[in-house]
Amino acid sequence: MTAAAKVSVDLGTRPDGSPAALDLEELLATRLLVQGNSGSGKSHLLRRLMEQSAPWVQQAVIDPEGDFVTLAERYGHVVVDTRRGEADLQRIAARVRQHRVSVVLNLEELDAEQQMRAAAAFLGGLFDADRDFWYPMLVVVDEAQLFAPMAAGEVSDEARKVSLGAMTNLMSRGRKRGLAGVIATQRLAKLAKNVAAEASNFLMGRTFLDIDMARAADLLGMERRQAEMFRDLKSGHFIALGPALSRRPLPVHIGPVQTAARSTSPKLMPMPQPASVEDAHDLIFMPGADEDRLFAPRRPPPVASTADVLAQLARSVPQVPAGVDGAPEGTPANAPQPAPAPAPAVPALSAEQRQAAIDAALREILGESDAAFRTIAVLYQDFLVRCRIRRVGGEPLSLPAFRRRLAVAHAGIDLAEAEADDSPWGEVLAMAGALPEDMQGTFLTVARAAFDRRPCPSDAEVAQAFGSRSPGRARRLLAYMEERQVIVCRLDGQGRRIIAIPGLAWETEPGDPNAPAGARAPEATPAD
């Protein structure tokens, strides 16, 4: 039996004029990093790679500038806009893997932080797809330094964390799930090292800064004195190295492409000549007929800050009709108004009232349908706003305390009763504290099911408690908890799962691990 022929992609030509072939199957296993300054031909290279490989492998492009949407016209890529929530993007990504559709995630309408969150949600959906849909896929990320920055910038730490985590998963753990990361960056020095280090194939283009040239030379195994060569590369010329390209550094000239980007390099053209200085003055200072349409803002309106929302709520005070507060009936509307009486001081809430208000805010958050799939930072900000609306004074809950309270509330555990000296829940809470913070709520949900002797939660229900839709992730979570000896899993004679809590006489009833997520949920009764 003869071995199956390899699938190769023609990137362009070598110095001797022979084709520069890229082994596509090897690329799927070893990933690719492309580096080049603006104008080096980096986007042209990515376009050539995607055009040549489109008939052979599914593709997903994370496109921060909307340059690759033109692939849809010729190669059938579906353009995914970002006028959607993060949960919607996760579901779309799962369907992309299920139906093997090539897509372009167009992020040009979003600012930097929104781009990071949207890309993280979409990559998370690709990564968390069920094992049955782990088909090979090229995941191309242009301007990767935006999504995996080396250092914190103007975006929030939470946005950077989720984006960097998604990129790290793509490059380090994506291979087993069929995901082959192809990342491109203008600045190697701005790209997180743990992301760049996972690539085994490299295409290095024109670079001018010493620090970027030194990193490029190190990745290619070249001596530092040879790094100067990167300054002399022409646009569209790259140095290739890697198991899918060449075992030794090899110059490559990228070939032509069939589609074009919507943005092009600037070209010089003659200046228009106005009839007179007065005409030029009118062109600048007089509005045109179609100006409103031509200059309509393309970006969505910014999200109001918490301070703006609170100020708006404070202004929303009912108008007092005439004759109220001592104003005589028939007083003219334009008559001088007496000085308003000072607002009465808001009485401070008692400890019980404050606790009840916090509990009510937690119940409202948990009652929202998408609460399980929103990030903890978003839920925390929502919680703080709700507490301020209820005039909850004093020191607010810290983020770790809120995460713990939310996990306990989601599991339907009475915290005051659990922290009592004779309560068996104290041991369970201590076991939860030994787990990573994002797993504690899932463990407490399972423990509550065991305490109530309810059927064992299915994989879908465990995933939902974790904030995911991947049954595979649920199975990995349970395996991790069993390794940490906080649960014990076994199957009965019918293949139904039973979970027990070690050291306690708590055990779930048998349950089908493959059952869909049910509508039942524990009653949330948070208390401090």
CA distance 130 to 153: 34
* Confidence at 77, pLDDT banded by 50, 70, 90: very high
For 33-59, the DSSP string reads: EEE--TTSSHHHHHHHHHHHHTTTSEE
**Least confident piece of the model among 65-69, 264-268, 326-330:** 326-330
Least confident of 60-69, 119-128, 410-419, 450-459: 410-419
Q: Cα separation of 252 and 244, whole Å?
A: 14
pLDDT at position 141, please? 94
For residue 126, pLDDT beyond 90: yes
Residue (of 158, 103, 168, 92) closest to 125 by Cα position:
92
Tell me the average pLDDT across 145-168: 85
Pairing of the two strands 19-23 and 8-13: antiparallel
**Amino acid 505: pLDDT:** 81
98: left (phi over 0), alpha (psi -120 to 50) or beta: alpha
Chain segment 229-242, per-residue pLDDT in tens: 888 888 889 988 88
Sign of CA dihedral 61, 62, 68, 74: positive
Per-residue HEC secondary structure of 405-474 comes to HHHHHHCCCCHHHHCCCCCCHHHHHHHHHCCCHHHHHHHHHHHHHHHCCCECCCHHHHHHHHCCCCHHHH
> What pLDDT was estimated at residue 497?
94
Contact 134, 104 (CB under 8 A): no
Enumerate the β-bridge partners of residue 10. 21
Question: Cβ distance 406 to 365 under 8 Å?
Answer: yes
CA distance 243 to 25: 11
| Ranges of CATH 3.40.50.300 domains, the chain | 8-254
- The alpha helices in 368-418, defined as continuous H runs, are 376-389, 399-410, 415-418
CB 433 within 8 A of CB 447: no
Structure tokens at 347: 């009485």
Taking 80 as the threshold, does the pLDDT of residue 353 lie above it? no
User: pLDDT-based confidence at 433, cuts 50/70/90?
Assistant: confident
What pLDDT, on a 0 to 100 scale, did the predictor assign at position 421? 64
pLDDT score of 403: 72
**Who wins on pLDDT, 402 or 125?**
125
Is-contact 138 53, C-beta < 8 A? yes
What is the predicted pLDDT for the residue at 516?
A: 84
**Banded model confidence at residue 59, pLDDT cuts 50, 70, 90:** very high
pLDDT in tens, 264-295: 556 677 877 766 666 777 767 777 666 665 55
Rounded distance between C-alpha atoms, residue 181 and residue 36, angstroms: 17
Distance (Å) of CA 435 to CA 164, 439, 470, 485: 22, 6, 20, 11
Cα separation, 437 vs 377, in Å, equals 13
Spatial separation of the C-alpha atoms in residues 104 and 515, rounded to whole Å: 33
Does residue 252 surpass a pLDDT of 70?
yes
Beta bridge partners of 105: 62, 80
DSSP string for residues in 292-338: HHHT---SPPPPPPHHHHHHHHHH--PPPPTTSTTPPTT--TTSPPP
Averaged pLDDT score across all residues of the chain: 79
Distance CA 103, CA 89 (A): 12
Greatest mean pLDDT among 132-136, 187-191, 405-409: 132-136
Is pTM beyond 0.75? Reply is no
When pLDDT is cut at 50, 70 and 90, the band that residue 362 belongs to is: confident
User: Mean pLDDT over residues 92-97, rounded?
Assistant: 91
**pLDDT for 444-493, tens place per residue?**
889 889 988 999 999 888 888 777 778 888 888 898 888 888 899 999 98
The whole-number pLDDT of residue 294 equals 54
Phi, psi of 496 (to 5 degrees): -90, 145
Do the bridges between strand 32-35 and strand 179-185 make them parallel or antiparallel, or are there none, so unpaired? Answer: parallel
Cβ within 8 Å of residue 140, ≥6 positions away = 46, 49, 50, 59, 60, 61, 62, 68, 182, 183, 184
Q: How confident is the model at residue 315 (pLDDT cuts 50, 70, 90)?
A: very low
Q: Which residue has the tokens 């004029």?
A: 17
**Nearest one of 235, 265, 233 to 249, comparing CA atoms:** 233
Architecture of domain 8-254: 3-Layer(aba) Sandwich (3.40)
User: pLDDT for 160-176, tens place per residue?
Assistant: 888 998 999 999 888 88
Residue 396: is its pLDDT beyond 80?
no
One-letter amino acid of 4: A
Neighbouring-strand partners of residue 131: none
**Residue 312: how many CA atoms within 13 Å on its side-chain side?**
7
Segment 80-86 shows an average pLDDT of 81
Residue count (the chain): 528
3-state secondary structure of 63: strand
Nearest Cα neighbor of 244 from 473, 500, 407, 57 is 57
Residue type, 366: L
**Cα-based angle 439, 116, 130 (whole degrees, multiple of 5):** 50
Query: Integer distance in angstroms from the first to the last C-alpha of the chain?
Result: 70
